[in-house]
């Protein structure tokens, strides 16, 4: 019996993130008031984001990601590229300090060596592959080469004549680098990392590319771009660029290297001449992109093969030099408020990023019902949530199941706590959404349909994934109108019965 109880407590303490969404975010560094690493992780978890890319290997960030399960891409900054490319010992030391010191507690999955080296630091191009090989050798020595991939992000500008995609090829100037690079990626099973920005393609096309084509907006059949060689139809710039990269690799006889998009996004604000950097366009692009990836639509060349994509970026980088648009690619402000609320109907809880107004806490789907029940008991007991609406005959009794009842209780607690970070976790079985879960006469606290006002409360936060105790009383059958005292008495009776059986 004791072993079963320990097993239950262990399962309840687990806090796996939602099913892999294939969507990640970039976390830039040029932010004046950068939130603490703990706050960054809390925001990521509240948005069910389980992939991030860092532009360095910051110690405090890597420590904060420990035991979260979040998949992390770390980076060798461009300024460190030369040193690593010239010395195996330097690369080994880098891996020891920035990888082995944190893995496996921190789920480092990829090392990005440099960033857009061919197009932004061309004088270092000749040493790029050497740096990749030295980092790979250091991983082999540390027995981490099977768990962690090594690659380097490229601007899509390395592809010339990207339409039609079937005729695309890499800039031949870079063949002495591209060919050995692709051989390296193929031999190590690593992906080609590509930064894809339809915004820049649209702006630089001088009206040739329609805005709707850049934004993933629905097109009439006669407006779709057709590759005359393959007869493949393209409805957006993103897919055309990704397929252009696939075709460019096949032109060099590399056909089995996957592509990961390490940057893509749209600025929400621009200067006087940046007319298309608007909140509406940014929202439309990122919402459609995320939906496209989550649905595993794939590309016309590889339908059904989802392209893992990292949104650029999590926060606005207000210290970034350049035009106004360069400072305004973020999904969130540094205080955690969204720059805009993404429109993600049917995409689940991934990046349900309205964290200030119409947000609700709901029970996750496909989690253990006993874990839900235990969290429900905590909310209606020690959490001091008013669960009277769940009593038989009351407005929220139907449907009479643990998921529906947990959602009501979790959300009531979340609203009572003023939507504080950590108040929608319940050991990983709850998540934040922008979809109002109210139904019929069952109006949830926080709903625009409700006149009820719920303020901040000073009681302890709901049990979170980082708690060392379960914070709940196990309950194996559903009885929504049992009081906390009833549950305590029932627990004592069960213990007595077990002792004397």
- Tokens for 281? 């366009």
Output the six-digit token pair for 478. 């559903």
Radius of gyration over alpha carbons of the chain, in Å?
25
- Give the residue-averaged pLDDT of 369-394: 92
Which pLDDT score, from 0 to 100, does residue 366 have? 77
Instruction: Exactly one of 30, 79, 116, 313 is catalytic; name it.
Output: 116
Active site residue 398: no
442 DSSP β-pair partners: 439
DSSP reduced 3-state for 211? helix
Q: Per-residue pLDDT averaged across 427-449, rounded? A: 81
Per-residue pLDDT, 258: 96
Q: What is the pLDDT of residue 176?
A: 92
User: Which of the 8 DSSP states describes residue 332?
Assistant: B
pLDDT in tens, 28-76: 999 988 888 988 988 888 888 999 999 999 999 999 999 999 999 999 9
Encode pLDDT of 214-264 as tens digits.
Answer: 998 887 777 789 888 999 999 999 999 999 999 999 999 999 999 999 999
> What mean pLDDT, rounded, does the chain reach?
82
What lies within 8 Å, CB to CB, of 463 at 6+ separation is 375, 378, 425, 426, 427, 469, 470, 471, 472
CA angle 57, 151, 78 (to 5 degrees): 50
User: Given pLDDT bands bounded at 50, 70 and 90, which one contains residue 342?
Assistant: confident
Which residue among the candidates 263, 274, 280, 313 is catalytic per the annotation? 263
Measured between alpha carbons, how far is 41 from 123 in angstroms, rounded to an integer? 36
Q: How confident is the model at residue 15 (pLDDT cuts 50, 70, 90)?
A: very low
pLDDT score of 108: 97
Taking a C-beta distance cutoff of 8 angstroms, is the pair 120, 81 a contact?
Answer: no
pLDDT of residue 295: 84
- Looking at the predicted structure, is the pLDDT value of residue 454 above 50? no
pLDDT tens string 298-334: 999 999 888 999 999 999 998 899 999 999 999 988 8
Mean pLDDT over 175-186 rounds to: 95
Which pLDDT does position 490 carry in this prediction?
41
Q: Are 200 and 209 contacting, i.e. CB atoms less than 8 angstroms apart?
A: no
Q: What is the mean pLDDT of residues 365-379?
A: 90
* pLDDT value at residue 421: 62
Rounded mean pLDDT, 418-422: 72
Average pLDDT on 441-469 reads: 53
- Cα three-residue angle 111-300-194, rounded to 5 degrees: 20
Distances (CA, A) of 405 to 93, 212, 430, 460: 53, 42, 12, 21
Mean pLDDT of 423-432: 84
pLDDT (0 to 100) of residue 5: 36
> How many CB atoms are closer than 10 A to CB 500?
6
The residue assigned the tokens 């303020």 is 455
DSSP state letters, 262-276: EEE---S---TT-TT
pLDDT in tens, 274-306: 999 999 899 889 989 998 998 888 999 999 888
Residue 121 Cα distances to 73, 77, 236, angstroms: 21, 12, 30
Cβ–Cβ under 8 Å, residues 56 and 345: no
**Given this model, what pLDDT does residue 162 score?**
80
Q: Across residues 447-461, what is the average pLDDT?
A: 45
For residue 338 the two structure tokens come to 């969204």
97-101, 279-283, 427-431: range with lowest mean pLDDT: 427-431
What's the confidence (pLDDT) of residue 486? 41
Cβ burial, residue 249 (10 Å; 0-12/13-18/19+): buried
pLDDT at 201: 93
* Tokens matching residue 340: 């805009």
Q: What is the mean pLDDT of residues 464-487?
A: 36
Indicate if the pLDDT at residue 167 is higher than 90.
yes
Q: What angle do CA 352, 354, 358 make, to 5 degrees?
A: 110
The two tokens of residue 94 are: 């880098």
Task: Return the SS3 of 128.
Answer: helix
Which residue, among 19, 18, 22, 21, has the nearest Cα to 307 in the 3D structure?
A: 22
Residue 394 has pLDDT above 50, yes or no: yes
Report percent pLDDT > 70 for the chain: 82
Q: Which residues pair with 149 in a beta bridge?
A: 110
Three-class secondary structure of residue 215 per DSSP = coil
Higher pLDDT: 157 or 122? It is 157
DSSP assignments along 149-183, one per residue = EEE-EEEGGGEES-SSGGG-EE-GGGHHHHHHHHH
Q: How much helix, strand and coil, in percent to the nearest 5, is found in the chain?
A: 40, 15, 50
Q: How far is CA 358 from CA 282, 355, 447, in A?
A: 20, 8, 7
Give the pLDDT confidence score for residue 423 in this predicted structure.
83
- Of 380, 379, 375, the C-alpha closest to 391 is 380
Q: Residue 217 carries which DSSP code?
A: -
**Pairwise pLDDT comparison (457 vs 226), residue with the higher score:** 226
Q: Residue 112: left (phi > 0), alpha (psi -120 to 50), or beta? A: beta
Cβ(333)–Cβ(280) below 8 Å = no
Question: What angle do helix axes 175-188 and 125-141 make, rounded to 10 degrees?
Answer: 20
Active-site residue 263, yes or no?
Answer: yes
pTM of this prediction? 0.69
- Distance of alpha carbon 55 from alpha carbon 112, whole angstroms: 8
C-beta of residue 290 within 8 angstroms of C-beta of residue 296: no
E-only strand ranges, 369-424 = none
Give me the pLDDT at residue 416, please: 87
């Amino acid at each position: 019996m004791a072993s079963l109880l320990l097993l239950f407590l262990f399962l309840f303490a687990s806090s796996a993130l939602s099913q892999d969404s294939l969507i990640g975010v970039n976390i830039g560094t040029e932010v004046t008031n950068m939130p603490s690493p703990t706050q960054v992780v809390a925001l990521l978890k509240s948005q069910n984001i389980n992939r991030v890319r860092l532009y360095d290997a910051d110690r405090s960030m890597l420590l904060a990601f420990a035991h979260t399960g979040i998949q992390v891409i770390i980076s060798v900054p461009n300024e460190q590229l030369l040193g690593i490319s010239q010395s195996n010992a330097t690369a080994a030391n880098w891996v020891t300090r920035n990888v082995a010191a944190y893995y496996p507690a921190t789920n480092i999955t990829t090392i990005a060596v440099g960033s857009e080296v061919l197009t932004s630091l061309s004088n270092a191009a000749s040493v790029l592959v050497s740096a990749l090989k030295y980092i790979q050798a250091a991983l082999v020595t540390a027995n981490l080469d099977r768990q962690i991939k090594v690659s380097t992000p490229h601007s899509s500008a390395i592809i010339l004549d990207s339409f039609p995609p079937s005729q695309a090829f890499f800039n031949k100037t870079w063949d002495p680098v591209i060919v050995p690079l692709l051989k390296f990626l193929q031999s190590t099973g690593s992906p080609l990392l590509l930064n894809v920005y339809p915004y820049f393609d649209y702006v630089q096309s001088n009206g040739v590319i329609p805005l709707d084509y850049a934004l993933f907006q629905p097109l009439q059949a006669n407006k779709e771009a057709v590759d005359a060689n393959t007869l493949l139809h393209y409805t957006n710039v993103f897919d055309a660029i990704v397929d252009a990269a696939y075709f460019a690799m096949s032109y060099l006889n590399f056909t089995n290297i996957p592509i990961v998009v390490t940057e893509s996004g749209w600025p929400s604000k621009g200067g006087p001449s940046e007319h298309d950097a608007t909140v509406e366009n940014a929202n439309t692009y990122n919402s459609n992109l995320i939906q496209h990836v989550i649905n595993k639509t794939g590309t016309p060349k590889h339908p059904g093969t989802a392209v893992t994509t990292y949104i650029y970026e999590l926060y606005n980088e207000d210290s970034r030099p350049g035009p106004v648009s360069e400072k305004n690619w973020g999904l969130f402000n540094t205080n955690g408020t969204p720059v805009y609320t993404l429109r993600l109907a049917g995409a689940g809880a991934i990046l349900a990023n309205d964290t200030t107004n119409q947000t609700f806490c709901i029970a996750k789907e496909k989690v253990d019902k006993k874990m839900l029940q235990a969290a429900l008991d905590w909310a209606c007991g020690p959490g001091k949530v008013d669960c009277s609406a769940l009593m038989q005959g009351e407005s929220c009794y139907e449907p009479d199941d643990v998921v529906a009842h947990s959602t009501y209780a979790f959300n009531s607690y979340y609203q009572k706590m003023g939507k504080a970070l950590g108040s929608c976790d319940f050991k990983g079985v709850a998540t934040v959404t922008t979809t109002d879960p109210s139904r019929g006469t069952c109006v949830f606290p926080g709903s625009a349909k409700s006149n009820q006002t719920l303020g901040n409360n000073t009681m302890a936060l709901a049990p979170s994934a980082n708690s060392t105790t379960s914070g709940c009383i196990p309950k194996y059958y559903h009885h929504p109108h049992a009081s906390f005292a009833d549950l305590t008495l029932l627990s004592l009776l069960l213990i007595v019965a077990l002792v004397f059986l």
